[in-house]
Amino acid sequence: DAGITQSPRHKVTETGTPVTLRCHQTENHRYMYWYRQDPGHGLRLIHYSYGVKDTDKGEVSDGYSVSRSKTEDFLLTLESATSSQTSVYFCAISDPGQTNTEAFFGQGTRLTVV
Amino acid sequence: DAKTTQPPSMDCAEGRAANLPCNHSTISGNEYVYWYRQIHSQGPQYIIHGLKNNETNEMASLIITEDRKSSTLILPHATLRDTAVYYCIVRVVQGAQKLVFGQGTRLTINP
């Protein structure tokens, strides 16, 4: 398995509280991503990073912010959690090679906002 | 990125070949076909990708039609552990892998 660690793996939080999810990689891959997955849906891209301090929005970025101060860490922050952000969050990494360009995914963080 | 269409579910007997179809009629010339799968609630796992030639690796084979408008993922000897949701995705190979996941095909391998 690719060296991707998500923390925490499970979290329950109250509406209106800030929450930060961490993704740590040991592969030195350039790109890092945050996806969310809701029941009956495929994964949807929230934000991604193409380098240290370089980030961009994905399909469902409203209510989320990200930061990448080091190659190995990509943080996803919910400034004020809402019940609609209850979901499973997946981090992924990839490298812009010519052939092996697949993405590797972490094991997910299950977030419940009550 | 081109849109893909997959059947919502399929069944296959253990030990038989599982053939999962995908339609991508609007695929562009520089877009590749990627397959990922998601077992239960784990993170998606890369399986294989290709441009126009058939590809094979230790997990599966990918057959792409000559006009590139459809493809088939083949699991040659399906096992119970292959039960998963399989996603067909088309996109360019360079740059960020901003994957667009559809509903996928839920493949059930029956004993």
The 10 Å Cβ neighbour count of residue A70 is 10
Share of residues in chain A with pLDDT > 90 (%): 87
For residue B95, is it left (φ>0), alpha (ψ between -120 and 50) or beta? left
> Quick check: B100 contacting A, CB < 8 Å?
yes
Cβ pairs bridging A and B (under 8 Å): 62
CB contact under 8 A, A42 and B103: yes
User: Looking at residue B22, what is its pLDDT?
Assistant: 97
User: Looking at residue B97, what is its pLDDT?
Assistant: 81
Tell me the chain A residues in contact with residue B101 when contact means C-beta distances shorter than 8 Å. Answer: 35, 42-44
Residue-wise pLDDT tens for chain B (111 aa)? 668 999 999 999 999 999 999 999 999 988 999 999 999 889 999 999 999 989 999 999 999 999 999 999 999 999 999 999 999 999 887 778 888 898 899 999 999
CB contact under 8 A, B46 and A104: yes
Yes or no: say if A91 and A27 are a contact pair by the CB < 8 Å rule.
no
- 3 state SS for chain A: CCCEEEECCEEEECCCCCEEEEEEECCCCCEEEEEEECCCCCCEEEEEEEECCEEEECCCCCCEEEEEEECCEEEEEECCCCHHHCEEEEEEEECCCCCCCCCEECCCEEEEEC
Cis peptide before B8 (omega within 30 of 0): no
Tell me the chain B residues in contact with residue A31 when contact means C-beta distances shorter than 8 Å. Answer: 96-97
> Quick check: B41 contacting A, CB < 8 Å?
yes
Radius of gyration of chain A (CA): 13
User: Looking at residue B2, what is its pLDDT?
Assistant: 63
Q: What is the rounded CA–CA span in Å between residue B8 and residue B6? A: 6
CB contact under 8 A, A33 and B100: no
User: Looking at residue B41, what is its pLDDT?
Assistant: 84
Give Dmax (Cα) for chain A. Answer: 44
User: Looking at residue B1, what is its pLDDT?
Assistant: 63
The 10 Å Cβ neighbour count of residue A59 is 13
Which stretches of chain A drop beneath a pLDDT of 50?
Answer: none
